[in-house]
Structure 1
């Protein structure tokens, strides 16, 4: 009886077909978004001083964790001088929409300066008030795919009040209102150890993960996960002048500046929440 052998041509063909099988659409979209985020981080229009801080802030990894897509409508809460705005604007340009929201109108000077410097890149950024009152412009309810805020929750915990009330929960409620069902809230902030006295949130510039989660969940958000992208185990958080002791502020001036520079920027939480569908 003649020996039998596996149908090798058929096996090889099957293996090749498997090797070249189409990448699932979601995976391909994620890969494209990651490449486009990397390109935005590498954009030559970014300020050199901002680029120098990438090693502490990990913007590409942070935005990827927040699942920001180039077609999204993104709201940046309290953008300050525009550190993340310099990345989000080229990333979303032409396909998505970027809102910059802050105290109206003075606190948006940093973004307005970017718009004046490069109208082609930054001119399409929409501006609104946060918190808003009266007839100030606002982000339409249910219009955003993502809301992001970087190192701002600690400010709300340090005593900012609106109409005599602590602003923390109100801020989360307003962010919740901006988002579409299923939209993402991304938060990065200086992390206070859970075992520390909560009173330190009022003076140190650090805030507990549990505090952020409590405020977000009270507003209706569902916690999805945390990343250690922006963790810094060298930061003990036990500084007399709070988080501002560390770079980039160096609150102690030249005193022990090299020591603080070696520690780097603060230990930070990176959290993702979602508005239920």
Structure 2
């Protein structure tokens, strides 16, 4: 379903040099991607529950690392509460688009789509797509970027080869597959269903086996104090996470 409403992206953007977020004065639209991303992160449209998580999740650094560009069409796998959906929608702007790919088991729950639909009503460039399985996914168009944060380990509990093949198929040549998740180094895939983490080396092996090329790694979310022996929900602190940027060859 496509829910169109008032688009906040672009029209309310602010740079670091701008005055108050509530200023009635016209704002100067940014030109660099750094400015677009910063404007999306500091946007007053984001709820306090999201901004309270920014210190741990470092969204500005992560979005910049991912390679998102103005005008991109992005497929976001399992957006959950929409933490990144809001940021990505404003970053790509009115000429871009977000496919919010919601798993069908979520949609089948009473009110399961209420949250993501509310976000779609807030922006004009989000289309909510209910998917039976990411392994059989077919989108209306090839996208510029696939995005998954903190849920690749769940996908790895199923037919991950088919999922990665589906991402490859629905991504344009030269497009990006961005993966961020909780780290369990040296464990392969043995911790995916128990500790809800995954070995980044296993992700690299699986994604490159689908035909992607690993382009870059980021340690901006690395936490050496994490012993990797508990679920992120049970760990008393910020879990150690990795971020990987893959590219489909031209």
TM range (shorter): 0.7 to 0.9
Deviation, 1:267, is 0.4
Q: Is the 8 A contact 1:189 1:207 kept in 2?
A: yes
Deviation, 1:201, is 2.7
Cα distance change of structure 1 residues 111 and 138 upon mapping to structure 2, 3 Å threshold? farther
Alignment of 1:1-277 (within 5 A): 32-104=32-104, 105-106=107-108, 108-115=113-120, 119=121, 121-132=122-133, 138-141=138-141, 143-157=142-156, 159=157, 166-194=158-186, 196=187, 198-239=189-230, 242-246=231-235, 260=236, 263=237, 265-277=238-250
Say which SS state the counterpart of residue 199 (structure 1) adopts: coil
Deviation, 1:229, is 1.1
- The aligned residue for residue 23 of structure 1 is none
TM-score (norm 2): 0.79
1:53-89 C-alpha deviation (Å, 9 max, x unpaired): 1111111111111110111111111001101012112
> In structure 2, what is the Cα distance between the partners aligned to 1:197 and 1:91?
34
Q: Is the 8 A contact 2:77 2:100 kept in 1?
A: yes
Report the number of matched residues.
215
> In structure 1, what is the Cα distance between the partners aligned to 2:221 and 2:102?
24
> In structure 1, what is the Cα distance between the partners aligned to 2:133 and 2:113?
13
Give the aligned CA root-mean-square deviation in angstroms.
Answer: 2.2
- Stretches of 4+ aligned residues off by more than 6 angstroms: none
Which structure is larger by alpha-carbon Rg, 1 or 2? Answer: 1
Deviation, 1:131, is 4.3
Say which SS state the counterpart of residue 222 (structure 2) adopts: coil
Higher helix share: 1
Say which SS state the counterpart of residue 71 (structure 2) adopts: coil
> In structure 1, what is the Cα distance between the partners aligned to 2:63 and 2:143?
16
> In structure 1, what is the Cα distance between the partners aligned to 2:51 and 2:199?
28
Deviation, 1:200, is 2.4
Structure 2 gaps of 5+ residues are 1-29
- The aligned residue for residue 3 of structure 1 is none
